A and B are shown apart, each in its own frame.
Chain A
Amino acid sequence: MTLLNAKTPYLKKETSVSSMMRDTLTALAFLLVLPVARYGARPLAMAAVTLVACVLCEIAWSLLQSRSINTSDCSSMVTGLIIVMLMPLNAPLWLPCAAAAFAILVAKKPFGSTGHTPFNPAAAGMAFITLLWPQRIFSYFNPSAGEVLPVFADCNVETAPSPAAVLKNGLKPDILPFDMLWGVFAGPVGATGILVLCACGLYLFLKRTANWEITAGCLFAGAVMAALWPRIACAPLTSIKYELMSGSLLFCAVFMLTDPVTSPRTGFGRVLYGLLAGVLIMLFRRYGAYEQGAWFAILLANAVVPQINSLVCGDRRWGEELYEE
């Protein structure tokens, strides 16, 4: 019997980077349940195609750099699924693939993969295709028309303005509150089911995979902006309701802002980052050219993160009682 001289610790860890990424993947997969139940297999096809594109891009980059291929940390899949969730269901399947390719090949891999990305790759990919094909990103099909979507082929279906677009035009969206909670309105694949989103967020916070400070900060800032400066003539609470539930604010606050790599590392810094991102998202909605530009806001907020990190001193923790050894 030969005994090894292995390094500590000798117990199996429960959390690793790949298990955290798998938690996020699980939460994202749950978001697909409602669209699949309602509109058939197209969301699944879209997700599968994008995931394959992500993994292929990752492998291609590894080959280009002549490094060993390692996709075990699942981070590229998370990027891919986030992109799918932000797509309209009637978008051609090459559109999320283009976003994923940009995200992996330009925003993630050249910086040194997971742990080194200064900008959220999914946000970068979305920003890229928003600039190139804005009409395709923001033309959502009408879920109440009852049309069946083809699984793989491009679809020409009746489109409807999303609540975010209606708000942008200064009108009040005409949607029942119940439909709004269950996501029966024109919008991105995964960002409409508000109740499912809340459940997924709760799951991630309880698993400590995502930080609730960021999401809370972002939603608070968004709500305050919506209450103080409503875009439509209505009561502050109504304005908050429509602003938080329309577009992809909630989705971005739960899944994109909480990416630990691109967010600040101290508790106070995270709150600050969330607030900043919330304000930026609302400003993009109000003054931006598109009906919403949450990903642009996230990229801008990411750019500020190093400053927040060095501004907020994290060397000591506050309110600690330390005994002397």
Chain B
Amino acid sequence: MRILVVDDQDLNRTMLKFMLESEGYEVILAEHGQQAVDIFDEAQPDIVLLDVIMPILDGYETAPLLKEKAGDFHLPIIFITALDDQKSMLKCLEVGGDDFLAKPFDKVILTAKIRAHQRTRELSQSVTAQNEALLYHQNQTNREHQIVEHIFSNALNNNEFVKDVVKYHLSPASMFNGDLFLANRSPMGGSYILLGDFTGHGLAAAVGALPTAQTFFAMTAKGLSVGDIAKEINTQLLRLLPDDMFCAACIIELSTHGKALSIWSGGMPDILLINQKEGIKQRIPSQHMAMGILEEDEFDIGSYSFEVHPEDKIIAFTDGVIEAHDINDEMFGQERLEAIFEASPYATIENVIDNLNQFCGDIEQQDDVSMCQVNCLPINDEISGNDHEIAPLPWHFSLPVKPDEIRTTDPVSHVLDMISGIKGMSKHRSTLFLVLAELYNNAVDHGLLNLDSSIKDEEEGFFNYYIQRQDALDILANGKVDISAEYDPDNKIVSFIVKDSGKGFNNKNQDLSPQTELELPHGRGINLIKELCQSIQYTDNGSRVEVHYSVLSQAPQELHYAI
């Protein structure tokens, strides 16, 4: 504790210095006000003892200057005075003095006063230090929030949807939204939507959005059903979130043609199915608990399926919409919301939000408010997912398959796995699978096992054929099927040659009329290959077959078939 003594009289300075030093204080001396101001910055005193009448700069003028130099810290100034008139004492207080010390000096009183002012000085210092710490933490928190907000907006901005089909509105009550809207397209071309509401709001509620979004995008890319997606997210949230936190949500899937709708809903307000002409057709209640509560084996993936029409739409919303209050503390409520659509079935979520804002007036928003609308329209675009160029690399491989391998493995799948691994080939894999499976099964069934397909035409024929095939396969001792596959990058042709060691079989009965073909449970394989491939050629009495498939063949979506 450093004390600055400002007095023009040598004796006063000496006495005060002696008294204070004997109490353990550090003492700095100044002979007049100007000197006190000059040395202040270097001396950094904690308390000032200030004489009133001095040459150059008197105490009244000095006090405000020292207070200013002290800045944010409280600097106690004690006036040394022999003055006892009221006017002078008032003036001392007006210019910033905090106390008086009367001459002649009394050591007990001096020490007591210094101690008292030492306490206020220390209090002021600690308050300032706390303010600084608080400011530091505030800045740090703001910075952290900015980072998290950045991550959130990137993680949650992967939404893919068709604008005419999906519309949504989000208004969070604070910087972070505890509500969540996610949308993605399915591999089949349809639309997936998730509208969720985490317990609470703000950052604590929003953290669950990241794993939810991650799981949602991964599972929708795989084309899972709404119930299976809910189950995956539930498992993630159960593992990550504390017990008292969970996510009410509905997951909606609309098929590409806009005709089939499926909904899994847990812990959400009723979802509305509305027809543009008839108004509200159905209220779809939540069937389940929110996600993040039930153990995996308790979780129910059951969902609702609806057949819908282009004039139908789905309205889903979080409880923030119906629980919003007006100035009289009355809730907006499901009835008011439904009344909007009863009055005009063409109403949209924008109309609901306008209504809601009017209802709430200037009342501060308490909870996150989110809505989405799904118009049950067909989608006509084409998804260009894995539209990669095929590597211009010639390749060739062959597999000699013997009875043991026929019994225990699935050579067609293995060949397709190999081909799918080649860049650009994977979009042809289902078609190539069908082609090769056909050739291979014919080679095994008719070439090696000598089965007769007409068995399939009988009642229970498929099953009997299956049994016969198993029996014949179990005792097959000799023979083999050679599969070879190659790619010719110049002509962009994938060729399969399948050759069996059997004595050949008749394949001439395959040219069936379209009508017969559709009625018979068998015999459509070779005709399918003819449609899918450029050429198919049987040789060696039917035991060797070669097909050519062009990878330039039209994209599946563009195919038109004329009968």
Answer whether A and B are interacting partners: no
